[in-house]
Amino acid sequence: MADNTNRGVFGLHGVTGMLIATVLLLSILVVLTVWGLGVQQQSASNFYDPTPITGSLENVKQDSTENANFAFKDAK
């Protein structure tokens, strides 16, 4: 049987590979964190404003009268 003489601590499957994987995972973490912070800042300056919907009670009254047709009714 042939012996594996190509063993080394600093090979790609040793410490070097572990460092490459660690740096890759940390860089992905940094990129996603920066991207998330950017999205939060953009959403804070461009927030959702519901006043066109809730500013008029006609929208609420119309929905409630239409929903009454679909409500459960007592059996008489």
- Residue 30 is predicted with a pLDDT of 98
For 6-59, the pLDDT digits (tens) are 666 666 777 888 899 999 999 999 999 999 999 999 988 888 777 766 666 666
Q: What is the DSSP letter of 14?
A: T
CA–CA separation, 40 and 34 (whole Å)? 10
As a whole number of angstroms, the distance between CA 1 and CA 63 comes to 81
Q: For residues 53 and 40, what is the distance between their CA atoms, to the nearest angstrom?
A: 24
